[in-house]
A and B are shown apart, each in its own frame.
Chain A
Amino acid sequence: MNPILLIAVPLLAALFAVAFKKIGRVLLGMAAVFNFAAALMITIWYVEPQVIVIGGFRPPFGVSLVLDGYSLTGVLLLNAIFALIMLMSFRHTSKLAAVLSITLAALNGMVLTGDLFNLFVFMEIGAIAAYIITTANRDLRHTFNYLIVGSLGSGLFLFGVILLYTLFGTLNMGDMQSKMAASPAPMQQALILPLVLLFAGLAVETKLIPFGGWVRGVLKDANPLTGSLIVSAYAFAALLVFGRIFGEMFVLSGALLTAFTIVAAATLVLAEASAFSRRTLRETLLYSSIAQSGLVVLLFLNHMALPAVLVLISNVVSKLILFTVSGQLAEACGTDETDRLQGAFFRYPLLGVGFTIAALSLIGIPLFFGFSAKLNALSALFGQGNWILPAVILLMGVVEGVYYIRILSALWHAGQEGETSAKDKLAQFPPVRQAVTGIVGLVIALLIVSAGIVTLSSFGTSGANDFITLIRQSLGGM
């Protein structure tokens, strides 16, 4: 199956969703299911990395797609995440069917493309869709702020791409990489400005401090659809793009690596501190999400693609269920203050099981996938002889553990007699919605546990350098 269908089919669905509004949501659902099934089939039949030529223009002269273990991991999980978001937040999609179909096409394009300008185009299409999706929030000022910051970031990214074109005469990522390897030392110096511009451009979507200032406004009151899309699907695609550029194309060293590492480490530390100090669920989760982005960027910059991808998968899969449940609790109870949601999971444990396992996985409790991911990252850093970054990551892991345990103990604790508790308000929570979210959360929780056990069993013995190979080796070794 040609991977171009992962982009073309949702685009076609968007076109028809505009023309036939009444069946827009059906078309969106069909596109989401098709993409997940297609990504699964592509994964099953995947043999070796390949370049998909479009329009008969052989690379580097035309735009091409790259299907390797990295992008395959991306499209498989991205389409699975998107389908699950649609399943859990379907009722919020009524006016957004066309936009969400375009989002699906753009995110797949970002992960698959092998051309820098084409990447810019997909990023812009995805960004415009994201601006429209965030208008579902009450306050449009935050969307406007996001639009301005996002457009400035995209402009800087494009500026960097054009500077790279002037240096190498190509926009094809693979061709540029080979020309760069053969380039003399002065050319390496000339790369500094374009790389800084690319980093600044990507830092907006990857939510690095100070470029991620838009996140709080957009996500603190986000509905389940907006929240889970931005912190899960968008973050996944943006960080995979970051890894493709800064983990594979450009191997950084010297002052530039130090500067970017400081930005990523500062993001991790400041965002974890902010998450710790918050008392509302969604604000805590959004800062936790920013911190995890900082960690993933840190790993990519330090040439650890596999640990970075594992941490990224652990984060986005867990955040998907955490944000959806938080958004739905906020809708049902009218607040997402942790203290006022006391006993919410006591009232409906099915919601709580998925939430709890996702949170425990993020903390890094053994046997969950988050543990394997963090262990992989820490041992890779220790293997490099690096002691400072693992110490920072471990310390922040403790901070993360404290606030997640605080949230879990509040939500599971029914409260004393006579105290205000969420457990009565939850009676207004429609049972069907509870069941759908609860069951999907349970399935995700089972995947987190099984992936944790499977990947841990081959930990240290696997020579895999991408997630798909790791899983195949792990399953083969069982």
Chain B
Amino acid sequence: MIQYFSIVLLLIGIYGLLTQKHTIRLVAALNIFEIGLNVFIISVGYVRGGIAPILTSQANTSALLYVDPLPQALVLTSIVIGVGITALALALARRMYKTYGTYNLDEMEGK
């Protein structure tokens, strides 16, 4: 179920990227796309009824049902990269606003 939700988020993000002309909205659409992707990555490692993959005195055998820890590690990296891209995109949008006086890409064309 959660994977369908992530696919919907991905599609909303792509729709936004294809249709929007406002730089801030484009950055928001990119973030929605990335969140959809991150939710999908997390869902890949999910195991119903699984426990955290940490060895303890109670959970000390590989026969137990663990969730896959790798996607959680991957998604952390993905989130960090996404934040970096967002920061850079917002900085560019702000500089473009200072130059053109608008956030709209179409309105920048004529200036």
Contact A152 B30 (CB under 8 A): yes
* Known contacts A121-B81, A140-B92, A144-B92; is-contact A152 B33 (Cβ 8 Å): yes
Report whether over half of chain B's contact residues are helix, strand or loop; otherwise say mixed: helix
Q: Across the interface, which residues of B come within 8 angstroms of A152, CB to CB?
A: 14, 17, 30, 33
Q: Are B88 and A147 in contact (CB under 8 A)?
A: yes
B26 touches A148 (CB 8 A): yes
Residues of A within 8 A of B30 (CB): 148, 151-152
State which residues 60-103 of B face A: CB under 8 Å: 70-71, 74, 77-78, 81, 84-85, 88-89, 92-93, 95-96, 99
Q: Is A128 an interface residue (CB 8 A)?
A: yes
- Given A159-B37, A162-B40, A162-B44, are A147 and B85 neighbors across the interface (CB < 8 Å)? yes
Residues of B within 8 A of A171 (CB): 70
Q: Mark B1-38, 1 if CB is under 8 A from A, else 0.
A: 00000000010001001000001001000100110010
A144 in contact with B17 given A158-B37, A162-B71 (CB within 8 Å)? no
Docked Cα-Cα span, A143 to B95, in Å, equals 12
- Per-residue CB contact flags for chain A residues 120-155 toward chain B (1 = under 8 Å, else 0) read 010010001001100100001101100110011001
* Contact in complex: A158, B44 (CB < 8 Å): no
Q: Could you say which residues of chain A place their CB within 8 Å of the CB of B108?
A: 141
**In the bound complex, how far is the Cα of B92 from the Cα of A128, in angstroms?**
12
Contact A117 B92 (CB under 8 A): no
Interchain nearest-CB distance for A65 vs B (Å): 18
Closest residue of chain B to A118 (Cβ to Cβ) is B77
Q: Which of A141, A159, A166 contacts B96 (CB 8 A)?
A: A141
- Contact-residue bracket for chain B: 20 to 34
A residues in contact with B41, CB < 8 Å: 158, 162
| B92:A135 contact, CB within 8 angstroms | yes
Interface set, chain A 267-311, CB cutoff 8 A to B = none
A165 at the binding interface (Cβ < 8 Å): yes
CB < 8 Å: which of A124, A147, A158, A162 contacts B92?
A: A147
**Residue from the list B23, B33, B77 in contact with A155, Cβ < 8 A:** B33
Which parts of A334-355 form the interface with B (CB within 8 Å)?
none
A144 to B17, CA, bound (A): 12
Residues of A within 8 A of B26 (CB): 144, 148
Residues of A within 8 A of B84 (CB): 128
B93: A residues at CB distance < 8 A? 144
Q: A152-B14, A152-B17, A166-B44 are in contact. Are A144 and B33 (CB under 8 A)?
A: no
Residues of B in contact with A (beta carbons under 8 Å apart): 10, 14, 17, 23, 26, 30, 33-34, 37, 40-41, 44, 70-71, 74, 77-78, 81, 84-85, 88-89, 92-93, 95-96, 99, 105, 108
Sample (8) of A-B pairs whose CB atoms are under 8 Å apart: A140-B96, A144-B93, A152-B17, A155-B34, A162-B41, A162-B71, A165-B70, A165-B71
Residues of A within 8 A of B (CB): 117, 121, 124, 128, 131-132, 135, 140-141, 143-144, 147-148, 151-152, 155, 158-159, 162, 165-166, 171
A148-B17, A151-B85, A159-B40 are known; give 18 further A-B pairs, CB within 8 A. Answer: A121-B77, A121-B81, A128-B81, A128-B88, A135-B92, A140-B92, A141-B96, A141-B108, A144-B96, A144-B105, A147-B88, A148-B26, A148-B30, A151-B30, A155-B34, A155-B37, A162-B44, A165-B44
